[in-house]
Every structure is written in structure tokens, then in C-alpha cells.
């Protein structure tokens, strides 16, 4: 299944990972400075758990956005791989744990999971005003 692009109600999205304050500040500055979002979030389509883009999601929340650009994907697709970052405190994670953490609101530490996709996710250019 190819990813489907959508503007999603930001209140329906479920993060599975916390953010790093420094990186969040950088992302906030970038979005404020350019006035647009250039990369959509990667979101599991069934439960709307964020797979990639937690810092962009948090930045959009702080900027008062009510929608977020997202590529919705079938998380069961074999074209979506999952591993952890080399410095992650959690060394092994399953897709079921990612969804569970998102649904329970019990996020992993920042930069724990690393999703690898076997398809292109094109850059976008959505003006910030279109998300408010």
C-alpha cells in the first residue's frame, strides 16, 4: 500500500516517543522562519500513531496548528521496517509496542525508534497558515 497524504486533525494524532528540547527548538525556529512545513509526518493509518516526525508534531502544536500534514501508512506493510537508534536506551522494539505506547500515551524516550521505509516520501511545502 502506497502512503496516502492527508491533513490530519492534530488532536487525533498519538505520539509514541518523547522529544528532545534542543531539537524541538531547532524545528520550531525552522518552521517559524520559513513559514511552512516541508516534511509530512509518517503516521500509522489505523490508530493514527506517529511513526516519524514527533518534533514536527510538537512544533505544530506549539504554533497553534489544528492540522498536520501526514503520510498515512499501513504499519503491517513489510515495506516499513523498524529498528532502534544506536544510542537508544531501549535496544529492541516491535511494531506492536510502538502502537501500544501511542495508544496508552506512554511514550518511549526521544530518538528510540527508527522507521525505515521502502518507498519514497516526497517533500511537501504546506504553509503554516493552512494548518491553523
On the question of pLDDT at 118 being above 90, the answer is no
The predicted pLDDT at position 32 comes to 96
Cα Rg, the chain, nearest whole Å? 14
Query: How far apart are alpha carbons 107 and 19 in whole angstroms?
Result: 10
In 3-state terms, what secondary structure has residue 95? helix
| pLDDT tens digits, one per residue of 43-60 | 999 999 999 999 999 999
* Domains of the chain (ranges, CATH numbers): 4-131 (3.90.1530.10)
The predicted pLDDT at position 127 comes to 96
Nearest-10 crossing angle of helices 54-62, 21-34: 60
pTM of the model: 0.95
In sequence order, which residues have a C-beta less than 8 Å from that of residue 30 and are 6 or more positions away?
A: none
The grid coordinates of residue 80 equal 516499513
The predicted pLDDT at position 2 comes to 79
| pLDDT tens digits, one per residue of 17-33 | 999 999 999 999 999 99
Amino acid at each position: 500500500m502506497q502512503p496516502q497524504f492527508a491533513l490530519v486533525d492534530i488532536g487525533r494524532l498519538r505520539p509514541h516517543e518523547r522529544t528532545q528540547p534542543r531539537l524541538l527548538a531547532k524545528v520550531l525556529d525552522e518552521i517559524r522562519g520559513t513559514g511552512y512545513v516541508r516534511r509530512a509526518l509518517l503516521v500509522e493509518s489505523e490508530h493514527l500513531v506517529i511513526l516519524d516526525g514527533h518534533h514536527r508534531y510538537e512544533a505544530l502544536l506549539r504554533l497553534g496548528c489544528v492540522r498536520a500534514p501526514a503520510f498515512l501508512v499501513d504499519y503491517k506493510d513489510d515495506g516499513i521496517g523498524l529498528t532502534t537508534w544506536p544510542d537508544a536506551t531501549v535496544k529492541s522494539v516491535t511494531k506492536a509496542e510502538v502502537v501500544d505506547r501511542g495508544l496508552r500515551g506512554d511514550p518511549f524516550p526521544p530518538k528510540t525508534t527508527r522507521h525505515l521505509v521502502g518507498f519514497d516520501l516526497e517533500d511537501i511545502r504546506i504553509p503554516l497558515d493552512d494548518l491553523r
